[in-house]
């Protein structure tokens, strides 16, 4: 996976410290991933976002952020030339991209993030999922279609019928699921169970992202205030 | 939530998303939420509530990420110090 990350972001600057950093990063990530062997990666993706993935996303994001900073500082020599919201957004986008890359393309939202960043207009088709959490959604030509009507796509016809039970308020649940689908990237027009599953993975990924960025910020702020640290 | 029974009315060639599956997904989602993750309240919270809290939680996470990235961008503004700090942090880890 480290090679995949370096493929997407080729180090354009032959600065010795950055390449040194990259090499050290790969060694660190390789050693950490080798030490932490998760045997339940296929079973529950809860553990995935908490163990070795964290290290990988961390290192990937560091590389990204470094390059962003490089570009920012090289283009503007004077301080505060670039407005801070632009830099903040660049950091956010780099973090999101690193997060999506570390998802290994198995989830819909990660593919949507990467597709949006590269400005491609076509969406890849979903890979066949080995997990049996959701049974196969077969297209039906039933008369009852999911409310909202946003499931029309020209290249893929998929209509899901939801069994209407009397105890639940189906329109409310559907409406909220639609709102949730708008929050999760790439799930705007998906069916209800797809949105729910994507949301579970997305929330865990976001939590990990927050954790990693927080620790990174604390590292930086700690080192900035105290330049000499006991190693 | 009593009376959960999906009755397939159509032909056997079609598969419908039953309420049970959606319920399972919602329960899984609920376990992730910070406030509703308690196991003893698993069948007392409605799905709409879980979904609403999920939306709020995702919005909160987005905002938190934005704030932290703002902070990071300011910290990374001084590139020399940041370079040395990052190298040092990697060495210590």
Q: Which of A111, A90, A8, A99 is nearest to A56 (CA)?
A: A99
Considering only alpha carbons, which residue of chain B is nearest residue A85?
A: B70
The whole-number pLDDT of residue A69 equals 59
Q: Tokens 């890359």 identify what position? A: A101
DSSP string over B6-72? ----S-TT---B-HHHHHHHHHHHHHHSTTT--GGGTTTS-HHHHHHHHHHHHHHHHHHHHHHHHHH
Considering only alpha carbons, which residue of chain B is nearest residue A164?
A: B19
DSSP A147: T
Cross-strand bridge partners of residue A146: none
- Tell me how many degrees the CA angle B5-A179-A116 measures, rounded to the nearest 5: 120
Alpha carbon distances (Å) from B25 to A146, A199, B28, B49, B93: 17, 10, 5, 14, 38
Model pLDDT for residues A170-196, shown as the tens digit of each residue:
788 888 888 888 888 888 888 888 888
Region B20-39 average pLDDT: 79
- Rounded CA gap, A104 and A49, in Å? 12
Q: A155 or B29: whose pLDDT is higher?
A: B29
Distance from CA of A49 to the nearest CA of B (A): 12
Handedness of CA A24, A27, A28, A29 (dihedral sign): positive
Residues of B in contact with A17 (CB under 8 A): 83, 87
- Rounded CA gap, A19 and A12, in Å? 10
Residues of A in contact with B4 (CB under 8 A): 165, 167
Residues of B in contact with A135 (CB under 8 A): 15, 21
CA A162 from chain center: how many Å?
29
Residues of A in contact with B85 (CB under 8 A): 219-220, 223-224
Q: Could you tell me if A67 and B82 are in contact, meaning their C-beta atoms sit under 8 angstroms apart?
A: no
* Candidate from A24, A173, A219 with C-beta closest to B51: A173
- Rounded CA gap, B62 and A94, in Å? 14
- Residues with Cβ within 8 Å of A211's Cβ and at least 6 positions away in sequence, in order, are A54
- Rounded CA gap, A228 and B11, in Å? 73
Residues of A in contact with B24 (CB under 8 A): 133
Asked if B17 and A193 come within 8 Å (Cβ–Cβ), the reply is yes
Report the C-alpha dihedral over residues A90, A120, A192, B26, rounded to 10 degrees. Answer: -30
Residues of B in contact with A230 (CB under 8 A): none
Q: What is the pTM of this model?
A: 0.60
> For chain B, first and last CA: distance in Å?
50
Q: B23 or B16: whose pLDDT is higher?
A: B23
Both tokens of A163, joined, read 């069994």
Checking if the pLDDT of B89 tops 60, the result is yes
Considering only alpha carbons, which residue of chain B is nearest residue A219?
A: B89
Alpha carbon distances (Å) from B87 to A229, B13, B81: 12, 60, 10
Best of B33, B63, B72, B92 to disrupt the A interface (most A CBs within 10 Å) is B72
Both tokens of A196, joined, read 């729910």
Asked if A180 and B86 come within 8 Å (Cβ–Cβ), the reply is no
Distance from CA of A106 to the nearest CA of B (A): 18
Return per-residue pLDDT of chain A as tens, 231 residues.
444 444 444 444 444 455 555 555 555 544 444 444 443 443 455 666 667 767 777 777 766 666 665 555 555 544 444 555 566 777 788 788 778 877 777 888 888 888 877 764 455 444 444 443 334 333 333 333 344 444 444 444 444 434 334 355 678 888 888 888 888 888 888 888 888 888 888 998 888 888 888 887 887 777 666 555 455
């Amino acid at each position: 996976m480290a090679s995949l990350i370096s493929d997407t972001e080729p180090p354009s600057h032959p600065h010795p410290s950055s390449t040194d950093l990259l090499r050290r990063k790969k060694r660190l990530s390789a050693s950490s991933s080798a030490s932490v062997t998760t045997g339940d990666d296929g079973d529950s993706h809860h553990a995935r976002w908490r163990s070795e993935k964290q290290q990988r996303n961390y290192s990937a994001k560091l590389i990204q952020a470094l390059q962003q900073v490089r570009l920012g500082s090289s283009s503007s020599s004077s301080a505060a030339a670039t407005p801070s919201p632009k830099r903040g957004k660049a950091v956010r986008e780099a973090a999101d991209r690193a997060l999506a890359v570390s998802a290994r393309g198995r989830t819909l939202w990660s593919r949507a993030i990467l597709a949006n960043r590269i400005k491609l207009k076509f969406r890849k088709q979903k890979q066949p999922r080995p997990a049996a959490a959701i049974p196969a959604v077969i297209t039906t030509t039933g008369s009852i279609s999911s409310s909202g009507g946003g499931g029309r796509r020209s290249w893929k016809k998929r209509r899901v019928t939801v069994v209407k039970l009397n105890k639940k308020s189906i329109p409310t649940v559907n409406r909220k699921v639609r709102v949730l689908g708008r929050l999760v990237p790439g799930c705007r027009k998906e069916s209800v169970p797809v949105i729910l599953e994507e949301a579970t993975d997305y929330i865990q990924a976001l939590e990990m992202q927050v954790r990693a960025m927080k620790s990174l910020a604390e590292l930086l702020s700690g080192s900035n205030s105290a330049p000499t640290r006991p190693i | 939530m009593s009376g959960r029974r999906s009755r397939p009315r159509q032909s056997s060639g079609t598969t419908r998303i039953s309420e049970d599956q959606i319920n399972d997904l919602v329960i899984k989602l609920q376990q992730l939420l910070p406030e509703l993750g308690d196991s003893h309240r698993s069948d007392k919270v409605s799905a709409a509530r879980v979904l609403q809290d999920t939306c709020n939680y995702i919005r909160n996470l987005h905002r938190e990420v934005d704030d932290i990235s703002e902070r990071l961008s300011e910290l990374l503004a001084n590139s020399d110090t940041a370079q040395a700090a990052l190298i040092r942090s990697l060495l210590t880890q």
